[in-house]
Chain A
């Protein structure tokens, strides 16, 4: 049952991801990206990470993509022809895509058993059922601490310092953006 839902959601994520990069119209591309994020949120929920799923929709689909859309609508990008030459651009794109796809394909050449033995303790790759059973283990944690508590505990106790450092990094980025955008403060 969960595996069927996983394959449906996975197919939706892949299809909308592909549609996102194939669309010429920037608004349609942004909407397909939102659809891909939705499918991802569904997969998180399947893994019993409902909190991450809700945050995925809330932050990425609800806030960040709305800002994207806002900027696209403000700039009013039409179907402009790019001044990059078509064939060289295609070749470069294909080369980068091949470079990125090669490690993934190499990973497929590994047998699941060999992968599992090399990365000890990790689930068997290529088998969503194994990952989903790990989700069932997460469910026990979620039931004892609440869905949010299971995330808040490690985040604010075990990894408090990295978390705070990350927030300072984000603050620096925000201040930098303001300084760049506004020359006279």
Chain B
């Protein structure tokens, strides 16, 4: 092995340790955050007994889950029953590896260790564990595997409620993968690349994609809810209909692995939204963060963290605000509204980009972004006020009085 390769391996191992520690600790704290947010929205205090303001609650929960009895139903398919929590846990954690979380850091070192030999590195280190050329296609591929854990948990438990939950999960996740994939195509059209790094650089020089591609952002975020099985799309566990759906028969740590996977998926969806539509680690209105350096890396890391956390908060906010969909409504939303909207939007953005570049001859990404933003406003007016005739935006107060 060359000294450069060894230097690369050392850096990667350090990044792995940092990212996975932050992810796992963060996920534990998110369970507390969720309970605090729900308490806040329901005007109560939430957990406040363990530690200062309930800060040690996740530790207490973890300890409880570890020493609790592991149940194993007699009629269950034993191997798959044990394997299912892993199959939803591992893909959820793998995703944390490919999302860039800060500006690249210049690192130079050259040292020797007694047995291992010389380690050399000199140059920019991208702040991501694996800087894959296929970028977020990897995220799509791996996140589509999460459904195996849920579907198999439902099937292998050999109970009616679990099976129904598993079936719902597989139907729902396959359905919403389609609008999720379609919502990303406009991003590829604008950036001309699928790697996260290139997309973020493109947004630094132009506009954040949430403006020119607002409907893609909307489709992505809504499909993200469905892919993570969060309310209002938590059909697979729907406790009022299915007890707990696919994890009815699970207890102790196996149960909490499903939960860790769910929260890790929330973080991934939030971080993906930040990276694809809100400039990733870009600090808005400044070009200071584009020259590499330690302060830039730290500051941009903080910005990425803030963006991700605000989307995590939105996810929780929605959960404690909206009621659950009915299953047929969920399916018709996915296939009859989101899929056609996604297809039309891809076509529209594709034609608009071609027109702007070839007919109007606009080369600057900022101008192009604002032109597309105008197009989005027009499309929004068309959808909300002409096709929908103002039903959604009018709200409940403006609805006609019920006939007495």
Please give the number of chain A residues whose Cβ is less than 8 angstroms from any Cβ of chain B in the complex. Answer: 25
Q: Quick one: closest A residue to B143, CB to CB?
A: A62
> Can you list, as one digit per residue, whether each of B173-186 has a CB less than 8 Å from chain A (1) or not (0)?
11001000000000
* A63 interface neighbour in B137, B167, B177, B188, Cβ under 8 Å: B177
Q: Which B residues are CB-close (under 8 A) to A173?
A: none
0/1 per residue, B139-152, Cβ < 8 Å to A? Answer: 01110110110011
| B151 A63 Cβ-Cβ under 8 A | no
| A147 & B133 in contact (Cβ 8 Å cutoff) | yes
What chain B residues lie within 8 Å of A74 (beta carbons)? 167
Q: In angstroms, how far is the closest chain B Cβ from the Cβ of A50?
A: 5
User: Which residues in B have their C-beta under 8 angstroms from that of A53?
Assistant: 134
Bin the interface of chain B by size: 20 to 34
Nearest CB of A to B139, in Å: 9
Q: How far is the CA of A50 from the CA of B137 in the complex (A)?
A: 10
B144: chain A residues at CB < 8 Å are 57-58, 61-63, 66
Q: Is B155 an interface residue (CB 8 A)?
A: yes
* A62 to B181 CA separation, bound complex (whole angstroms): 13
Contact with B along A42-72 (1 / 0, CB 8 A): 0000000011011101100111001101100
Which of chain A's residues has its CB closest to B147's CB? A66
Q: For A54, what are the chain B residues with a Cβ–Cβ distance below 8 Å?
A: 134, 137-138, 140-141
How many A-B residue contacts, CB cutoff 8 Å? 83
**How many angstroms from the CA of A62 to the CA of B175 in the assembled complex?**
12
Asked if B163 is an interface residue, CB under 8 A from chain A, the answer is yes
B190 to chain A, nearest CB (A): 14
Q: Which residue on A lies nearest to B178, using beta carbons?
A: A63
Give A81 to B156 CA distance when docked, in angstroms.
21
B194 within 8 A of A: yes
B253-280 contacts to A, CB under 8 A, are none
Contact of A70 with B137 in the complex, beta carbons under 8 Å:
no
Return the contact of A148 from the options B80, B171, B194 (Cβ within 8 A): B194
Q: Which residues of A contact B375 (CB under 8 A)?
A: none
Do A51 and B174 have beta carbons less than 8 Å apart?
no
Known contacts A51-B137, A54-B141, A73-B163: A66-B151 contact under CB 8 Å:
yes
Interface positions, chain A 1-44, Cβ under 8 Å from B, are 25, 27-28, 31, 34
A57 is contacted by which of B141, B177, B194 (Cβ under 8 Å)?
A: B141
Q: Are B133 and A67 in contact (CB under 8 A)?
A: no
Closest to B177 in A: A63
When the two chains form their complex, are residues B173 and A66 in contact, meaning their CB atoms are under 8 A apart?
yes
- Distance in angstroms between the alpha carbons of A63 and B174 in the assembled complex: 6
Q: Which of A34, A50, A66 contacts B170 (CB 8 A)?
A: A66
> In whole angstroms, how far apart are the Cα atoms of A55 and B142 in the complex?
11
Question: In the docked arrangement, what's the CA distance between A138 and B125, Å?
Answer: 25
A contacts, CB < 8 Å to B: 25, 27-28, 31, 34, 50-51, 53-55, 57-58, 61-63, 66-67, 69-70, 73-74, 142, 146-148
Q: A63-B144, A146-B192 are in contact. List 16 more A-B contacts (CB 8 A).
A: A27-B156, A50-B133, A51-B134, A57-B141, A57-B142, A57-B145, A58-B140, A61-B141, A62-B141, A66-B148, A66-B173, A70-B170, A70-B171, A70-B174, A73-B167, A147-B134
Show 18 residue pairs from A and B whose CB-CB distance is below 8 angstroms, ordered by the A residue. A31-B148, A51-B134, A51-B137, A53-B134, A54-B141, A62-B140, A62-B141, A63-B144, A66-B147, A69-B170, A73-B151, A73-B155, A73-B166, A74-B167, A146-B133, A146-B193, A147-B133, A148-B188
